[in-house]
Chain A
């Protein structure tokens, strides 16, 4: 689990996860478009995200496609958000979204 938190601790890697959330299934080339990061940096970040299982990959021919894998985050939520708290947490989250818009960092 340490590696999941390490992977999430970097804003560049979170940005890549956001890009995959917007459009799931992208190649390295597509992910590099409109980003300030170098191709090497994106590639390095993706490797760590893959090790943390936050990104899952699919090979199609010689192309590697990257997908957002929410399972580790889901497992963390299951571990610390108890079954009775779930609805209250969700209600608070919806309230926060309504008040702030969807722009959480």
Chain B
């Protein structure tokens, strides 16, 4: 295939409203996403960035589509690993769909080029972040391994 993509699906016992808030509210995201901070006004076309705990920009892009509690698509370009940065923009999609007493969260991260280093790199990180997000919403506590920015990165 001429593109790189992964697709993760996780079921979380919560409501679409709570999950949506957990995906974009910095007070939630820092707990399950290694102390990072996302900044955006969350409107179509608005810039978006995610900052490392030391304040440097990790990744940035813009909001491509936003439909609260249902769907969010943003462009995503790495800013701190030169070989990933030069690959250009990838695309991240969140889809939320209520299923019984849970919400099915689909996360698609893709780039229109084969063998993307960025997609390969983030595909290892996402399962930890998503499991931790689930734990935070279902038990009130995120997972230990995602509460701090990894050393040496």
Question: Are the chains A and B members of one assembly?
Answer: yes
In the bound complex, how far is the Cα of B8 from the Cα of A62, in angstroms? 21
**B122 interface residue per 8 A CB criterion:** no
Residues of A within 8 A of B (CB): 24-25, 53, 56, 58, 67, 69-71, 74-75, 78, 83, 86
Residues of B within 8 A of A86 (CB): 145
**B5 interface residue per 8 A CB criterion:** yes
Residues of A within 8 A of B144 (CB): 83
Residues of B within 8 A of A67 (CB): 5-7
In the bound complex, how far is the Cα of B1 from the Cα of A56, in angstroms? 17
Interface residues of B in 98-151 (CB under 8 A from A): 106, 108, 127-128, 130-131, 134-135, 143-145
Residues of B within 8 A of A (CB): 1, 5-11, 106, 108, 127-128, 130-131, 134-135, 143-145
In the bound complex, how far is the Cα of B93 from the Cα of A56, in angstroms? 15
Residues of B within 8 A of A71 (CB): 8-10, 127, 130-131
Inter-chain contact A53/B106, CB cutoff 8 Å: no
CB contact under 8 A between A24 and B6, given known A56-B106, A75-B131, A86-B145: yes
Residues of A within 8 A of B9 (CB): 53, 56, 69, 71
Residues of A within 8 A of B11 (CB): 53
Residues of A within 8 A of B127 (CB): 70-71, 74
